Each structure stands twice: as C-alpha cells, then as structure tokens.
Structure 1
C-alpha cells in the first residue's frame, strides 16, 4: 500500500473518529443527567438499574442480525442512518421533557431504541477501523478510540452536573441532539474504501432474505465455536462483565450513602482521568505483544481495585481505587480489539463482533437485574447497624448505609481475580496470540 493511500485512509479515520467523539460527549451528558433524574424521582436502586438494562438488552438482542447486515451493507451509510435514528429518539425525550409529560417509562423506551441503533453504529465503526488503519497501527488506533471514550468519562460527570443546574435537563438534551449533526457531517464528507471478501461463501449477499441472514448468523456462530481460544475469551468476558457490571451500577448508590452528589461527580471524574491516562499510554505504546497476557493481567489488577473500592467508606481510597480500575479498561479493550481484528477476515468481522458482544455482554442484563435486589435485600441488611454481620465483618469495613454494597464489591473483586488468574492456564486462550502473529505475517 502506498504512503499516500495510507495517509488518505488515516485522514478519513481521524475525521470519523472526531465526529463520533463529539456525539459521544452529547450522549454521555444525556445519559448521566437522565440516570440522576430517575434515581432522584424513584429513590430506588432497582429502578435505577433498569435504566442500564434498557440501555443494554435491546442492543444485545439485535446484535446477531445487526452483525450479519453490517457485513452486507455499506458501513458508512449504516453509521449515518444509525446516528440519525438515535438523534430522533433523543428528540422524542426532548419533546416530552419540554411538554412536562416525561415519565420513567419514556426513558426506558428511548433508551431501548437508541440501544438498537447503537448496535449497528458500533459494529460498523469497529469493522471500519480495519479498513482504514494498517494492521501495525491497529493498537494505536484502538488507543485513540479509547482516548475519546475516556475523555468523555473524565469531563461528563462534572460538566453534566453544571449544565443541569444552568440549562436544566431540557438544555442538556438539546446539546445532545445538536452533537449528532457533527457526527453526521463527518460521515457525509468522507468516503470509505471498498473491501474484498476473503470467501464469497461467507456472505449471501445475492439472497437478501431472512433465510440468508439466518445463515450468516449461523456462519458467524460456527466461526467462533470452532475456535476454542476465541470462545474462551468471550466466556471470560461474560464472567468478568457480570462482576464489573454490578459494580458499575451500585457505585453511585454506595457513594451517595456517605458523600454529596458533588463529591460523587468528582470521584467519577477522577475515574475518567484513570481511563484517559490508560488510553494515552496504550495509544502511544500500542499495547503488549502478548495480548492475552495483557487482558488477563489487567483483569487481575481490576479485581484488586474492586476489592479496595468496597473496603472502607473513604472518598480518597475509593477515588484511588476507581482511578486504577478504570486505568485497566483501555488496555483490556485495546488488546481484545486488536486480537479480533488481526484474526478475523474483514467480511466476517461484523458477525463476529456482533456475536462477541452477545456472548460477552449476555451477563450484563443479569448483572443489572441482580444488582438492585442484592443490594436492597441481601447485602445492605447484613451490614445495617443491627445487621447479622454488624458485629463481625462490620467491625472491619463499617456498618450503615452503603456498607453492604461495599462488602459485595469485595466479593466481586475476589471473584474477578480468581477468574482472571485461572484463565492464564487455559492453553487454547493463550494460542490466540500465535494466531494473530500468523495472520500479520
């Protein structure tokens, strides 16, 4: 490939990335503001957890079909239509807010619609990276994507809090709606390169019916299950996502039990700094050569951070723990993306990424459904001031509101460490690095 062609493709990647980054900021502001609105209106951890469920489950359910269609469709136009659909769903929420008729179920519906469109958008964006970026730069490109996501995590909590006070929820929604135009403009001014299929049998493009889509989904599933290492990696993420998913839902209720909402925003912003620093490191470095060891090693470190997050009700300790924990995420995400992009042919990537999301993310809805009941009816009562464990474990980690959630975090962290450590000894999983090296030769 000539230097000029490579430079043109990288320019397209940067333009698309920047447009998506602006849209990501807007969506993050809305998500943060709506989550707080639901919790303030209901004062229920279970209702709060349901917002995450409706944000995740519809996208997971549609992903296998979305993956098959993304492999068939023009990926640029798929991203354009997906962003437009999400913008319309945001407009719906904006209208019900302005008219004063907003209900919690409105948020659930809009979140579900956006989740479906995001499934198409993310799969198109992920598979496009391999078309625009040479394989030797995939780690750096993945790091750049992680930088955008971490920057949003860094600034959104504090910025959302300020904007809700200044322009209220209506203003935040209008800002989000406007950011979609940046993403659409970026996609409309560029052209994506064509890609050649490695095997014409992989995609039944000449038969655009349900039967051929079903066949494509089955092909993607068989592609994964016939590669034990790839399947093992996805099962590992399913287990890890369940553990981390519970923590991600309960971290705000735990913090609100003993600090103000302003302090919560500060701690979450510090967490965002951790992700940003990790993204900068992976963007410059490109990641370890042995990607699987990178995933599992940082998985163990993540588990240690989860333990410290629940150990004691200290804002300073929790801030350090979440900083270090989120520092791990860009390394895990980048190593995984580079592995899959290096191993899987371009014309199969949509289906494989989709089923990867379904398998690895299948535990997230379970985590979101389990988080509220575990907190409200099991762990919080155990460490109430007069709870069953108040005189034993409570003497070490404290008692009262939020300490049961902290105790749950400790157990989740221990399980994360064990799952990651045991995965080191599964040989098919370790073989993925050899497969990737062979494909890159």
Structure 2
C-alpha cells in the first residue's frame, strides 16, 4: 500500500511563498540600512544624520497611514504589494545612481527614504489583510508566527552578510543586492493568485467616496470598544517599548564593559524573538488568544525590571531572552485576533490605523528617551543618589532606571487592561468573520 503525502492547500502554498519572498526583501532592506549607517558614520562622525534617516522613513506612515488603508481596501491587494516593492526598488535604484555617480549628498538619502517610506506604508496592512484570505483562522496563528519570525531572522542574517560583502563591494554593491530582492518580490507576487475579500455588510455600509471610507474604518473601531481598547493598549505599549529597547547597545557596553559580551547578549535577545515566534504554534485551540498574550506581556514587564537591575551576563541574558520571547508571541496572536474580528474587506483600513498609531508611538519614544537619558538621568547618577538601592550608581544606572520604570508601567497597565470584562470577553462577544 502506498502512503500518500498530506496535501498543502494552494492558498497556504501562496502564503508561504509570499512570506519567503518578503523575508528576502526585508533582509535586503536591513543590509542597506546597515551599509548606510556605516557610510554616514564614517563620513560625518555624527549620530544625528542616522536619526533623521529613520525619521524621514517613518514620516509617511505617521502622517498618511490611515489614508493608505483606504486604498489597500479599494485596490487589488496583489497589485498593492507589487506597487510597494516596485516603489522601494526605484528608491534603491536612485540611491545606487547617487553613489555610483559620486554626487551623493545627505539630502539625497533623506528624499529617497521618504519615498521608500511612502511606498512601504502600503506593505504591512496589505500583507496582514491578504493573510486572512489565504489562511483559515485555524492556521492563522502559525501563519502570523512565521511573519513575526521574519524580523529577528533578518536581524541575524543581514548584519552577517553585510559584514562579509561590504568590504568587497561597498555601499553600492549592498544597495544593488537590496534592489534585486525588491524586484524578485515583485516578480513572485505577479505570478500569484490572491483571492479578493468577500464583501461584508459593514464594508458596504462604509463604501462610497474616499473620506467616507476612511471615516468608515474609524467608525468600525469606534463601535467596538474592546478592539479599540486593545489598539490603544498596544499603542501605549509601543511607546513604552521602542525607545528603551533601543538603549540596548550603550546600556550593555556600560554595564558589562565588553563589546564581545554585548554581542552575545544581543544574540540571546534575537534568539528569544525567534523562539517566541515559534512558540505561537504551541497554543492550544481551547485557549483564547487574549488569555495567552496578555499574561505574556506581564512577563514582558517583569523582564524589563530584571533587565534594568541585573549586573552580570547570565541574568542579563535570561531577562533579554524572555523579554524578546514575549513580543512576537503577543503581536502574532493579536494580529490573528484582529483578523478574525474585522471584515476582510475592511482590514486594510483597520490595520493601517493600528500601524499609523504604532509609528507615532515608537517615533515619539525614540525622540524622548535619548535626550532623557543623555541630558537628565545619566548626568544625575552619582554615589548615593536616590535610586542606588534599585539600579546602583555605576555608569548606565540612568538607563537601568528607565528600564525598571517601563517594566513597572507595563505591569500595571497590563493588569488594569486585562481586568476589564469587555477585554477578557472580546473573543466571545464579537463575531468572527470567515472568508
């Protein structure tokens, strides 16, 4: 008797192919970011230009993210993803031309990353919305886990590959690789068949002109307090998370006094993110998603406190591993929940609102935390200062205080939010939308 292999649904194959190509494109983008960082740092010796690069790249989704969601819901989402990758490839081509011609100036970079950020703001809501029509709800946690794992995977691969090829090909060669990954993504998506979302009553009621559809997406969230409440929770969480996490390298170097130890600790952090993404698949179907990711974020808060008070490599590694372990787990499960509770033909708008608020929160966090640490907290550290019993009085103690306070706020915020009955009952009170 011949054993038969289990068949993979065509839409699942399409999804896996999409994730693979977008991960490849993400690796290319990370490589370019690293190469630009090296080039600009060597040329200017300043950190401000790199901060401006990040700012101009995130400015379009901060300003226009919700508007992009209307177009994601209006247009064929396959073409939206192709347009996004193609537009970013054009940006890479312009950057390559600037370097090869020898006329590169910093303002070229700012204009190009703004252009790429404009096209990129369509990518994430389109991918999240496409996942709903390609993957059934029973498999969606695993699907979103794979997407979450792409970011730490690119964080591991891109620096290694860039370090190998940058001395040989320079920044122009790295940008060329990035452009090729974008073009590969366009070619692969062009050959895909991605079903259009079925029309819903909510989508029909919110259809009409551009502004009516934009207001319709906001009204949908406004009429569902639990969903809106969780989006606000994640927005505040984003604000608390991103600036303090960005302190990792300077904090660890000051605490350990070793670049090699810092590198190993950052590797432990990336390993936690990869394992956390994989752990989503272990959720039992009888467990509600809310009852997994909210307790996971309690662990996030606790690990921030351990991270901010630890002084030796082992507790630092343990806290950093578990800190990053919780993030893809929580984000992946909330993405699945949002997909199941939002009509497929309105998901572009809903995910764009979520994404826009996240960009505003994370950028504000970056802008505030740096000056707070450099100008206020670290200069205030001295023997016997008020927080010595908690974080010590060594260099880096000011950053440690930020981590401890953030951990405490996350714990309190999560306990209060999770205690609300409307939040705990969200998966039973709100209907699921099946594709």
Common fold: TM-score over 0.5: yes
Once residues 163 and 403 of structure 1 are traced to their aligned partners in structure 2, the CA distance between those partners, rounded to angstroms, is: 37
Once residues 310 and 44 of structure 2 are traced to their aligned partners in structure 1, the CA distance between those partners, rounded to angstroms, is: 27
Once residues 41 and 377 of structure 1 are traced to their aligned partners in structure 2, the CA distance between those partners, rounded to angstroms, is: 26
* TM superposition score normalised by structure 1: 0.87
Residues 22-421 of structure 1 mapped to structure 2, 5 A cutoff: 22-35=24-37, 37-38=39-40, 48-199=50-201, 201-202=204-205, 204=207, 212-257=209-254, 259=257, 263-283=261-281, 285=283, 289-383=287-381, 387=382, 390-394=384-388, 397-399=391-393, 401-421=395-415
1:92-145 deviations in Å (ceiling 9; x for gaps): 333334445544444433332222212101111110011111121111111121
Offset of residue 308 of structure 1: 2.3
Offset of residue 64 of structure 1: 0.9
Query: Residues 338 and 160 of structure 1: is their aligned pair in 2 closer, same or farther, counting only changes over 3 Å?
Result: same
Offset of residue 238 of structure 1: 1.4
Q: Which has the higher mean CA deviation after the structures are superposed, 247-256 or 350-359? A: 247-256
Query: Residues 252 and 9 of structure 1: is their aligned pair in 2 closer, same or farther, counting only changes over 3 Å?
Result: same
Partner of 2:3: none
Offset of residue 395 of structure 1: 6.6
Query: Residues 106 and 146 of structure 1: is their aligned pair in 2 closer, same or farther, counting only changes over 3 Å?
Result: same
**Contact kept? 1:306, 1:321, Cα under 8 Å:** yes
SS at match of 1:196: coil
Once residues 358 and 241 of structure 1 are traced to their aligned partners in structure 2, the CA distance between those partners, rounded to angstroms, is: 11
Offset of residue 80 of structure 1: 0.4
Once residues 158 and 266 of structure 1 are traced to their aligned partners in structure 2, the CA distance between those partners, rounded to angstroms, is: 14
**Contact kept? 2:343, 2:433, Cα under 8 Å:** no
1:327-361 deviations in Å (ceiling 9; x for gaps): 11121111111111111111111111111222344
Query: Residues 108 and 140 of structure 1: is their aligned pair in 2 closer, same or farther, counting only changes over 3 Å?
Result: same
**Contact kept? 1:46, 1:369, Cα under 8 Å:** no
Q: What's the Cα RMSD here? A: 2.8
* TM superposition score normalised by structure 2: 0.89
Once residues 253 and 38 of structure 1 are traced to their aligned partners in structure 2, the CA distance between those partners, rounded to angstroms, is: 19
**Contact kept? 1:79, 1:124, Cα under 8 Å:** yes
Once residues 387 and 313 of structure 2 are traced to their aligned partners in structure 1, the CA distance between those partners, rounded to angstroms, is: 20
User: Which structure 1 segments of 5+ residues have no match?
Assistant: none
Once residues 6 and 328 of structure 1 are traced to their aligned partners in structure 2, the CA distance between those partners, rounded to angstroms, is: 29
Q: Which has the higher mean CA deviation after the structures are superposed, 297-306 or 92-101? A: 92-101
**Contact kept? 2:206, 2:217, Cα under 8 Å:** no
How many equivalent residue pairs?
A: 428
Q: Which has the higher mean CA deviation after the structures are superposed, 44-53 or 418-427? A: 44-53
User: Which structure 2 segments of 5+ residues have no match?
Assistant: 1-5
SS at match of 1:424: helix
**Contact kept? 2:268, 2:317, Cα under 8 Å:** yes
Once residues 181 and 257 of structure 2 are traced to their aligned partners in structure 1, the CA distance between those partners, rounded to angstroms, is: 32
**Contact kept? 1:339, 1:432, Cα under 8 Å:** no
Offset of residue 302 of structure 1: 1.1
